[in-house]
Structure 1
Amino acid sequence: MCNLVTLKASVAEVASAFGARRPLTNAQPGEVYPGGQGFVVREDSGVRALAAMTWGFPVRLKQMKPTSKPKPVNNARDDKLMTFWRSWFTNPAQRCLIPFTAFAEAEGEKGRMTRTWLSVADQPLAACAGLWRQSDEWGDCYTMVMVDATEELFHIHDRMPVILHAADHDQWLRAAPEDAMKLVAKYPAERLAVERTDIPWFSRKSPAADAPRLL
């Protein structure tokens, strides 16, 4: 499960790297928690467009009061892409790329967990597979597709984002579901760099620290 990502590049740099139209927004890249504002690349009338969106689909659980605020579901399980997530996954227009520099996982004892960052050694500015939709609650929003982690990374976490090879970006954005599903795979551990830090996991409060994050 991924609940913190960072994007260390300017809007112009991200747009240029992905051949995308720049968004009309004052939002800037940086660290993003569930419920926060991040960036995605999607197709718009055959042209790639960089857009700022809320990270997480708004969901109200059965046990929640009707007046309760929705929770952001920011991770989408690979084994539910053809069930819970089907309407978005099977429509290429609802798939997106999520640019990132690194994603973080929590390591250590409960209450003393610190951030461990994972980045893609051969892609300084990488992208993982995402889905997006419009919502009444937050406007445009997105979620990140997850798979089981490679065994070499199980000591950090048993799940990881679907990191895409640069040559596969178009296929994720445009292909039929059966071809897009072929990209839903583990990224080779030997191509990932691990950086452990002493920074507390929640050094600042996440906008949705207690939210459900994986469906």
Structure 2
Amino acid sequence: MTLAYTLDATADAVAQALGADRNGDVWAGGAVRAGGYAPVVVRGRDGRRRIVPRQWGVPPPPRGQHIVTTVRNVESPFWIGTLRHPEMRCVVPATHFRAGGPRRWWRSPDAPIMGFAGIWRDSEVPSFAVLTVAVDTLSGPAGMPTSVPLLLNAAEQMQWLAQGWKDVESLVRPVHPDRIAELGA
């Protein structure tokens, strides 16, 4: 899945929706491009959530050639060290995302600003990647995308940013089709 997403909200709106400090972020809203900067929410050492800018796409593994924008396999040695540490996880705000075809955009029917599960790294460049999961197609109508970002509700966001891997691993599960709606539908 090639993920694309948009955050049509200002840093102030994101901070309010996701319970974070704006932290001086100047995001004005718009499309997010792989390799470009976008706001993410992290948990600081003081326990407070704050918005920080990060580049979307972590440097590739040793034999890779392209930045990596999504985490599909949480068992991969490339990701597991980062996933085990809550201080290396983030929540990625978005208003809609593309999945299931180039012209199909999706949103959350429950929250105008969604929070995707993400991880961040401070290697050469402070960067992040979004976790993706399957859609529970047995519960949904035909035409649903097969893979989407892992959507977290407010309580799950708190867990994702603060708890150990054994406590949050169960959050990494297929998304129920009721949690997404096609944009314009």
TM-score range, shorter chain: 0.7 to 0.9
1:88 alignment partner, SS class: helix
TM-score (normalised: structure 2) = 0.88
CA deviation after TM superposition for structure 1 residue 26, in Å: 3.9
2:34 alignment partner, SS class: coil
Q: What is the alpha-carbon distance in structure 1 between the residues aligned to residue 110 and residue 24 of structure 2?
A: 30
1:80 alignment partner, SS class: coil
* More divergent stretch after superposition (30-39 vs 170-179): 30-39
Q: What is the alpha-carbon distance in structure 2 between the residues aligned to residue 76 and residue 37 of structure 1?
A: 18
CA deviation after TM superposition for structure 1 residue 156, in Å: 5.0
Structure 2: state its 5+ residue gaps.
Answer: none
Q: What is the alpha-carbon distance in structure 2 between the residues aligned to residue 191 and residue 27 of structure 1?
A: 26
Q: Identical aligned pairs, as a percentage?
A: 29
Q: What is the alpha-carbon distance in structure 2 between the residues aligned to residue 30 and residue 96 of structure 1?
A: 20
Q: State whether structure 2 residue 22 is matched by structure 1 residue 28.
A: no
- Aligned ranges for residues 109-128 of structure 1 at < 5 Å? 114-128=102-116
CA deviation after TM superposition for structure 1 residue 38, in Å: 1.4
Partners of 1:163 and 1:186 within 8 A in 2: no
Q: State whether structure 2 residue 39 is matched by structure 1 residue 39.
A: yes
2:15 alignment partner, SS class: helix
Letter in 2 for 1:131: I
Q: CA RMSD in A?
A: 2.2
Alignment deviations for residues 84-106 of structure 1 (CA, whole Å, 9 cap, x no partner): 20111000000000111110125
Alignment deviations for residues 148-170 of structure 1 (CA, whole Å, 9 cap, x no partner): 22214774532111101222111
TM-score (normalised: structure 1) = 0.76
Instruction: Mark the CA change 1:60 to 1:183 in structure 2 (over 3 Å): closer, same or farther.
Output: closer
Residue 155 (structure 2) aligned to one of 162, 167, 187:
167
More strand by share: 1
